[in-house]
Amino acid sequence: MARAKSKSERSGDSQDAIALLKADHRQVEEWFEEFCAAPDDDRKQELATLICNALKVHTTIEEEIFYPAFLQATDDLKLHHEAEVEHDGAKKLIAEIEGSSPDDEYFDAKVTVLFEMIKHHVKEEEKTGGMFAEARKSEMDLDALGAQLAARKADLEGEAEEGDDVPPSGGKMERSEVERMMKETR
């Protein structure tokens, strides 16, 4: 049976949490594909920067907002912890790519391996029985979470534009901070 459409899907205004996170996945995949066919080092550098920044924002909003809400709603420690461990692996490689350049003999290999890791992680999140499917089955308010994710994403992207580096995700917010944000977006 087809699932009922969420409020955001019906109104077409803002995205629900899963639609927003999936759109991030598609954008990064597109940049990775472009990287593989990039004509020169300048374009490779540009794309690597876009990919690393987008992944830092994406992993941050997942870890600060979506993953804790998922864990609270489902108690699924296995899916939650595996996702966090996969993020940690990707973050190490992102830091290495940021500290290197297309002049580095290993630059392409690092970006390619990051792509492989991200493909695996995205498949885990989006597959049947994966985190997103389980989130849809749960009582999570995906419309409200979508608004929170969009607000935090805009903040982080704004910080990056102002020249502040996007902080590496992993510094989890205190619970009080998450609750404050939830109140603000209500």
Which is nearer to Fe ion, 117 or 151 (by Cβ)?
Answer: 117
Contact status: 64 vs Fe ion (CB under 5 A): no
Q: Which of 165, 73, 80, 74 is nearest to 124 (CA)?
A: 80
Contact status: 63 vs Fe ion (CB under 5 A): no
H helices of the chain, in order, are 7-11, 17-36, 41-61, 67-74, 77-98, 107-126, 131-137, 142-161, 175-185
Taking the complex as a whole, how short is the minimal distance between the CB of residue 39 and Fe ion, in angstroms? Answer: 29
φ, ψ for residue 174 (rounded to 5)? -65, 155
Taking the complex as a whole, how short is the minimal distance between the CB of residue 140 and Fe ion, in angstroms? Answer: 15
Structure tokens at 115: 């792509």
Write out the binding residues for Fe ion, residues 19-48 only, by CB under 5 A: 21
Which is nearer to Fe ion, 38 or 131 (by Cβ)?
Answer: 131
Which is nearer to Fe ion, 31 or 107 (by Cβ)?
Answer: 31
Report yes or no: 62 and 32 within 8 Å, Cβ to Cβ: no
Contact status: 143 vs Fe ion (CB under 5 A): no
Residue numbers at the binding site for Fe ion (CB under 5 A): 21, 62, 125
